[in-house]
């Protein structure tokens, strides 16, 4: 079996969760396989072999770890459904899902599991089932998370979901966990400290080498990450805070004193060290896998949030600095960690439109334009696509629009034509005023090259970075 760290090659990257990928109707799902409760294992395994390599929402393949986790849950779920209801997986209905989760919630409450942990588990398992429902062409048979939770003895408001995209671990709690990690063993201690204070990925933390990674240039200390990063690209992490400087000195002194050169047992491979790290974090350090704050990545997300404290969230330079420290080169990716892509709301569209028209030479015009298109794309998708395509067409005179056209076709369909300039005027007038709409179309008819639209609007839209 291939290592988890290697990129998936057994699926086509260009496919997303569109209708053409799945059976058009439920009756066409695995036509040659008889529908019978005793065939549930064969049905689940066959469907997993076809679809389980895909990411449920993004334009890429998922990791092998995600695939295996989903398959394990499907086997557990349909074993229960086949036993209790005598159904084939292709006969899945809403009542089967509700019964399963009622059973699991009751069982977990009896075991003393905290409500917010149960809520997180249910939310994750429901997302797996929603993806499976597309495989059997029954996307509407999965109930909403709120419906499942409100039917139980505890209410949704009593078990709030953590905002994992911008989690911020308390500093004192973070230091305590680092100290506890050192009590378990030296290797786990240096790994956790590196993740907590330098924002390293787990694979990077077990690949650090003391002599090569702890460097100084012009009196400024920095961490030189050479291995374990995505794409294998090395990067430098400058020490920017007092806590980072202290952590750098403490780690360097500790490694010299203990004779630690490699941040893992030299007898272990990277993958073996990662598995051991994960096991120790959960079983010995007491971090729960079921809650986001209990994963190794909470250290990394908390690092990003702390580094953004005091920065202007709309300052692209600040976001770019943190992006580079995290090993990313796009601020859109950093938004996942720190939550700085918050939507302003649909009601801001008229104000943004008026501000763009009244002062088109303002220094923040580009930021306003990004926000306007993002809000429009989320709130009025067809109008947003039409306006973006029109702006790109007038700028490029019809050239280099293949990517935008393909995206439009995939999301809105091949046969549906975009709005003409006259209809755009009418639609924008209904949002604001006719004079404002007219001025916008005059002033911004050549403002947006296709690559600007792709980078600032479409890429974040595809990655679901417009938080609601």
Kind and range of the H or E run holding 316: helix 316-326
Q: CA-CA distances (angstroms) from residue 387 to 93, 262, 402, 406?
A: 40, 54, 16, 16
Instruction: Confirm whether 11 is domain-assigned.
Output: no
Express each pLDDT in 59-110 by its tens digit: 678 888 889 999 999 999 999 999 999 999 999 999 999 999 999 988 888 8
Q: Alpha carbon 337 to chain centroid distance?
A: 9
Residue 201 placed within a domain: yes
**323 shares a domain with 383:** no
Rg (CA), the chain: 25
The reported pLDDT for the residue numbered 91 is: 95
Domain assignment present for residue 4? The answer is no
Give φ, ψ of 274 to 5 degrees. Answer: -65, -40
Q: Which domain holds residue 437?
A: 346-462
Q: What is the pLDDT of residue 399?
A: 53
Residue 356 lies in a domain: yes
DSSP character string of 168-194:
---HHHHHHHHHHHHHH-HHHHHHHHH
- Given strand 220-225, what is the order of strands in its sheet? 214-217, 220-225, 235-238
Residues 208 and 353 in one domain: no
Residue 164 has what DSSP assignment? Answer: G
327 and 282, same structural domain? yes
- Is the domain of 193 the same as that of 309? yes
Last residue of one domain, picked from the residues 133, 161, 189:
161
How many structural domains are present in the chain?
Answer: 3
For residues 83 and 103, membership in a common domain is answered with yes
Q: Are residues 389 and 268 in the same domain?
A: no
- pLDDT per residue as tens digits for the range 106-126: 888 888 887 878 888 888 899
- Does residue 12 fall inside a structural domain? no
Taking the C-alpha atoms of residue 123 and residue 161, their distance in angstroms, rounded to an integer, is 9
Same domain, 334 and 187: yes
* 302 and 201 housed in the same domain: yes
Helix, coil or strand: residue 235: strand
End-to-end CA separation in angstroms for the chain: 39
- The pTM for the full model equals 0.42
Among residues 208, 218, 221, the alpha carbon closest in space to that of 248 is found at 221
Domain limit, last residue, from 161, 192, 210 = 161
The confidence score (pLDDT) of residue 167 equals 43
The residues, any chain, with a CB within 8 Å of residue 141's CB and separated by 6 or more, are 92, 93, 94, 97, 133
Do the Cβ atoms of 133 and 92 come closer than 8 Å?
A: yes
What per-residue confidence (pLDDT) applies to 6?
Answer: 45
**End position of a domain, from candidates 294, 311, 338:** 338
Which residues in the chain come in under a pLDDT of 70? 1-20, 59, 150-171, 230-232, 287-347, 359-364, 394-401, 403, 407, 411-416, 445-447, 459-468
CATH number at residue 291: 1.10.443.30
Quote the pLDDT of residue 29.
Answer: 92
Same domain, 208 and 303: yes
Residues 85 and 119 reside in one and the same domain: yes
| Same domain (yes/no): 114, 203 | no
With respect to residue 14, please indicate whether it lies within any of the assigned structural domains: no
In-domain check, residue 202 = yes
Q: What is the DSSP string of 244-308?
A: HHHHHHHHHHHHHHHT--BSS-TTS-HHHHHHHHHHHHHHTS---TTSGGGSTHHHHHHHHHHHH
186 shares its domain with 313: yes
Residue 8 within any structural domain of the chain: no
Which of 112-133 are b and which e, b meaning 16 or more Cβ less than 10 Å from the residue's Cβ?
A: eeebbbbbbbbeebbebbbbbb
Residues of the chain above pLDDT 70, percent: 68
Q: What does residue 223 show for φ and ψ, rounded to 5 degrees? A: -95, 125
């Amino acid at each position: 079996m291939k290592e988890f760290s290697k990129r998936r090659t057994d699926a086509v990257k260009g496919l997303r969760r569109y209708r053409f990928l799945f059976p058009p109707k439920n009756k066409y799902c695995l036509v040659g396989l008889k529908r019978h409760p005793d065939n549930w294992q064969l049905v689940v395994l066959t469907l997993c072999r076809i679809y389980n390599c895909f990411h449920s929402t993004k334009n890429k393949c998922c990791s092998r770890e995600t695939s295996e986790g989903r398959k394990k849950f499907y086997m557990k779920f349909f074993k229960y459904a086949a036993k209790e209801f005598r159904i084939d997986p292709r006969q899945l209905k809403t009542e089967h899902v509700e019964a399963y989760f009622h059973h699991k919630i009751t069982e977990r409450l009896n075991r003393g599991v905290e409500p917010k942990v149960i809520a997180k588990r249910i939310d994750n398992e429901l997302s797996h089932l929603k993806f499976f429902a597309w495989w059997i062409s029954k996307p509407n048979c999965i109930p909403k998370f709120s419906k499942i939770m409100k039917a139980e003895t505890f209410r949704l408001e009593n078990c709030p979901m953590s905002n994992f995209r911008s989690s911020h671990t308390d500093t004192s709690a973070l230091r305590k966990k680092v100290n506890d990690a050192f009590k378990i063993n030296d290797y786990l201690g240096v790994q956790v400290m590196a993740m907590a204070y330098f924002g390293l990925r787990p694979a990077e933390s077990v690949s650090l080498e003391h002599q090569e990674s702890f460097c100084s240039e012009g009196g400024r200390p920095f961490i030189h990450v050479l291995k374990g990063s995505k794409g294998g690209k090395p990067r430098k992490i400058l020490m920017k805070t007092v806590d980072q400087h202290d952590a750098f000195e403490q780690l360097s002194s500790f490694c010299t004193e203990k004779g630690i050169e490699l941040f893992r047992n030299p007898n272990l491979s990277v993958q073996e060290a990662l598995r051991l790290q994960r096991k120790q974090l959960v079983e010995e350090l007491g971090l729960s896998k079921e809650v986001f704050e209990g994963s190794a990545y909470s250290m990394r997300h908390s690092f990003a949030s702390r580094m953004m404290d005091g920065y202007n969230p709309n300052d692209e330079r600040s976001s770019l600095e943190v992006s580079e420290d995290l090993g990313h080169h796009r601020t859109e990716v950093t938004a996942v960690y720190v939550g700085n892509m918050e939507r302003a709301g649909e009601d801001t569209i008229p104000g943004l439109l008026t501000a763009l028209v009244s002062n088109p030479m303002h220094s923040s015009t580009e930021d306003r334009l990004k926000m306007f298109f993002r809000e429009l794309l989320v709130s009025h998708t067809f109008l947003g696509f039409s306006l973006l395509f029109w702006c790109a067409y007038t700028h490029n005179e019809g050239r280099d629009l293949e990517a935008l056209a393909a995206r439009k076709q995939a999301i809105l369909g091949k046969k549906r034509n975009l709005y003409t300039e006259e209809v755009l005027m009418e639609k924008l007038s209904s949002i604001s005023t006719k004079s404002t709409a007219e001025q916008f179309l005059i002033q911004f008819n050549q403002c947006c090259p296709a690559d600007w639209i792709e980078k600032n609007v479409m890429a974040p839209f595809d990655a679901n970075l417009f938080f609601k």
